[in-house]
Amino acid sequence: MQNQKALKAFIQLRRALGQANAQALLPLGLGPAQAAVLRALESNGPQSAVALARATAHDPAAVNRALTGLLRKKMLRREQDRQDKRRSSLSLTAAGRALARRVARVHAELSDAMLAGLGRAEREPFIRALEKTGAFLHARNAQRLLPED
């Protein structure tokens, strides 16, 4: 029963954060996938669309829609690989970097709002528990993807 309670709480938290994130990004004219792409490019530098889908944990179709919108708004530039013309790399323009910094501020405010319901002594243990749970699930999922010997 405790496991179901934890899963239910996580699903509620995920849903509430998703809605709050989408609302907070509206004034910037962005959706969550576009914001995730901007943040990933800001943090990790130029990447392919496939790498961005992996880095943002969004499905490739959502990332491609996000890329189309960001390219149209001139927030990104696409450069073809010189050796392999089928491959391309995406990077932020100056306007894209500025928008990524605005997204970072929105996300910082959202994080503060999420933690505001906790006392100061509860915040660090909560964050550590989230990190530990995320790392465990990530490792477990990666293990399932490994080929069996």
CB of 68 closer than 8 Å to CB of 48 = no
CA separation for the pair 148, 52 (Å, rounded): 28
Residue 55 reports pLDDT greater than 70: yes
Q: Where are the beta strands (DSSP E) in 57-122?
A: 76-80, 88-92
pLDDT in tens, 112-148: 999 999 999 999 999 999 999 989 888 887 776 555 5
| Weakest mean pLDDT among 13-17, 20-24, 85-89, 131-135 | 85-89
Residues 6+ apart with CB under 8 A from 65: 33
Task: Please name each of the domains of the chain with its CATH number.
Answer: 16-116 (1.10.10.10), 119-149 (no CATH)
Structure tokens at 68: 């189309």
CB of 27 closer than 8 Å to CB of 62 = no
